[in-house]
Chain A
Amino acid sequence: MEQEIFNAESYSKMELLRFTTAGSVDDGKSTLIGRLLYDSKSIFEDQMEAVKVSSERRGDENINLALVTDGLKSEREQGITIDVAYRYFSTPKRKFIIADTPGHIQYTRNMVTGASTANLAIILVDARHGVVEQTKRHSLIASLLGIPHVVICINKMDLVDFSEETFNKIKNDYKQFASKLNVKDVNFIPISALLGDNVVNESENMNWYKGTTLMYHLENVHIANDHNHIDSRFPVQTVIRPHSDEYHDYRGYAGRVAGGVFKKGDDVTILPSGFTSKIKSVEFAGKPLEEAYSPMSITMTLEDNVDVSRGDMIVRTGNMPEISQDIDAMICWMDDKNPLRLNGKYSLMHTTKSCRCVVKEIVYKMDVNNLHKLEDDKNIGLNDIGRIKIRTTQPLFFDAYNRNRITGSFILIEEGTNVTVGACMIRS
């Protein structure tokens, strides 16, 4: 296995999967991450030595895999602000980026941050406790942030005699609650992070379970369709003008495809001007590309010499995004100093466009533990989630967040401090 990772043939096919982990304190998150790293041989020997030594010192019976990710924990104990910590490991099939965030309610903003780029969320449930308030909150965040795949890991199965009945009960409880959510792909896996059952290796204690191990799932879950490949969206980042003799009239529009597929010859419309043209070339670093799709970074040239600049969006004619100055969105508030101000003015960044906006209405705040809409409580402070309506100084070109996570998201920035204070998802 080691050899394969470094064989050029095989690593050229490796995909990238980003996932988050969430759970209540002591559900076994650190142990699970340690187990994934350990059983996939991603821990250096000297790191492992150190873990062994401290396990012995603590008098632990087995090697305490939770110590592998100890960094975050000691911070928690010291009461230091915890953030998102990123960890990396790979198998011959995929490279993984874990956004490791603490699960407590006061860390909602960190979870939202970690979730914003994730393909998949692992939500841990302690088999002895079943679905609890935190499980619901983590699921709500996963749903709100549009994480395409969710895996409910029912952990500590060894403490409930590996009981199928317990597993099924938790699964049913969860399904009932999750019917109110918008998660497309949910899987349930009974595991013991401590002993390793169904994490990387199949469990010998749960023959009744016919599904795959967690690692198999992480390696094989279908992620190519996590990007929108239908609605062609190309927010222009910058215009490339070489000013050289050889490329005298060259005007390349540089950006990252935010949706759909672009090809030479496509009829396109430039927003906001509404000018139309045809794609002359889709290229990258001087080489023509057959087609370009999300998340590729490319350069595009057009047949006509139209005026295009940063913040503009090139779209396929006939497949327009919504265009409006009135936006209805869910917001997660991230500022620890001030709450969201009704009628307050903020800077806004959406794809490559920046403008300003005013908060016209706070529709409701959401109780993140049970999804109730609190129409009477409109005070949105740190870690709160709510629904707002804003008006922008310039029209945005957008899709609903549940259709496109790139063109459907924006951030609010406090104008005095320049700090990012709000993460917003546009409603359909």
Chain B
Amino acid sequence: MAYNINHLNELEAEAIYVMREVAAQFEKPAILFSGGKDSILLTHLAKKAFFPAKIPFPLVHIDTGHNFPETIEFRDYLADLLDAKLIVGSVQEAIDAGLAVEEKGANASRNVAQIPALLKAIEDHQFDALLGGARRDEEKARAKERFFSHRDEFGQWDPKNQRPELWNIFNGKKHFGEHFRIFPISNWTELDVWQYIAKENIELPKTYYSHVRPCVVRNGTILAVSEFVQPREGEEVKDMQVRFRTMGDATITGAYLSDADTMEKIIQEVASARETERGNRADDKRSETAMEDRKKEGYF
């Protein structure tokens, strides 16, 4: 007679409720697919929410052109597996069309340039809701974000003028040209995400697991050597045993020394990072969140 469910099941039930509301309340919703674990998680939840039907959302990927090959490979594989439509918005095209400007300088990235590419994709395809994998625990500013986040006809968010969100009633009413960003996993923490991925056995790109690859160390950040990152003068290329915690642009996404090659080890690592890693690798940490922030500006 104990009618209770555990925290992961409750978070899952909440996320699925939100996704079903999106399918019911909007005409052209889509999943904003970044290639990272949080958006992979969204596709998994969507699959469960609408089973045995196909997921009712296409995947929209804003491609900076600077992605790890593993990200693109996994994206295509996943879209195929889900039988989902994949829509790619190109930052390069946005730059070529004069909609976006390429950043200059030593640590230039294309994160900010994603915004116009995304807004163009929204306009071209008339999307009225975009599901994203952002979480409230990621940073202070996000702690107040809604599940249903209203954007005006210019795609802008007004954090001071958000609609109150009560109980589980989500008001998705909008005027023509406006759209919503939807965050079904708002209430999940980093740890919840990993625990759930482990529980559900969700497949992730290999880059999330420990592997050996050639890297350079730049400003205290370990960068994988690739088409986009070549050693600069004085930098030494070394084979390192690393893994990634996020999957952003290859130009700026830092790798971490790690021998966590299984899900269990990763969870242990995420767990103990709370205590130690912050302390002795504060610089890495800070630059990691800085990158995340830029990414967020771009995506959300």
Residues in A lying within 8 Å of B, measured CB to CB = 2-3, 5-6, 8, 11-16, 41-42, 44-47, 49, 71, 80-81, 83-88, 90, 94-95, 97, 109-110, 112-113, 116-117, 223-225, 227, 229, 237-238, 240-244, 246-247, 250, 252, 254-256, 261, 284-286, 293-297, 299, 310, 334, 347, 349-352, 405-406, 409-411, 413, 418-420, 423
Complex formed: what's the CA distance from A363 to B270 in Å?
A: 55
Contacts of A255 in B (CB 8 A): 20
The answer to whether A227 and B12 touch across the interface, beta carbons within 8 angstroms, is: no
Give the shortest distance, in Å, between B282 (CB) and chain A (any CB).
6
Residue from the set B136, B143, B264 with the largest chain A CB neighbour count within 10 Å: B143
B163 lies within 8 A of chain A by Cβ? yes
Q: Whole-angstrom distance between the alpha carbons of A13 and B169 in the complex? A: 28
Q: How far is the CA of A419 from the CA of B150 in the complex (A)?
A: 10
Beyond A45-B276, A409-B169, 5 additional pairs, beta carbon < 8 A: A41-B274, A90-B189, A95-B192, A109-B164, A349-B171
Tell yes or no: B268 within 8 A of A by CB: yes
**B154 CB within 8 Å of chain A:** no
**Once A and B bind, how many residue pairs between them come within 8 Å at the CB atom?**
190
Taking CB atoms, residues of chain A closer than 8 Å to B218 are: none
Contact of A88 among B171, B189, B272 (CB under 8 A): B189
Within 8 A of A (CB), among B233-275: 264, 267-268, 270-272, 274-275
Q: Give the nearest-CB partner of A8 in chain B.
A: B198
> What is the total number of residues of chain B having a CB less than 8 Å from a CB of chain A?
67
Could you give 25 example pairs across A and B, Cβ below 8 Å?
A: A2-B272, A8-B199, A8-B264, A11-B195, A44-B274, A45-B276, A83-B162, A85-B143, A95-B189, A112-B164, A113-B166, A116-B166, A224-B4, A238-B23, A241-B53, A243-B53, A246-B52, A296-B9, A297-B20, A405-B167, A410-B169, A413-B171, A418-B174, A420-B165, A420-B166
**Minimal beta-carbon separation of B147 from chain A (angstroms):** 11
A94 to B7, CA, bound (A): 8
Helix, strand, loop or mixed for chain B's interface?
A: helix
Would you give the 0/1 interface string for B7-26, flagging 1 where the beta carbon is closer than 8 Å to chain A? 11111111011001101100
A237 vs B162: C-alpha distance when bound (angstroms): 24
Q: Evaluate whether A71 and B3 lie within 8 angstroms (CB atoms) in the complex, with A90-B191, A406-B167, A420-B166 already known.
A: no
Bound complex: CA A110 to CA B166 (Å): 10
Question: In the complex, are the beta carbons of A86 and B164 less than 8 A apart?
Answer: no
B160 and chain A: residue at smallest CB distance? A81
**Residues of chain A with a CB closer than 8 A to B17's CB:** 237, 256, 297
Q: Is the CB of A117 within 8 A of B168?
A: yes
Of residues 27 to 79 in B, which have CB atoms within 8 Å of A's CB atoms?
47-54
Instruction: A110 to B20: give the CA distance in the assembly, Å.
Output: 26
A418 touches B175 (CB 8 A): yes
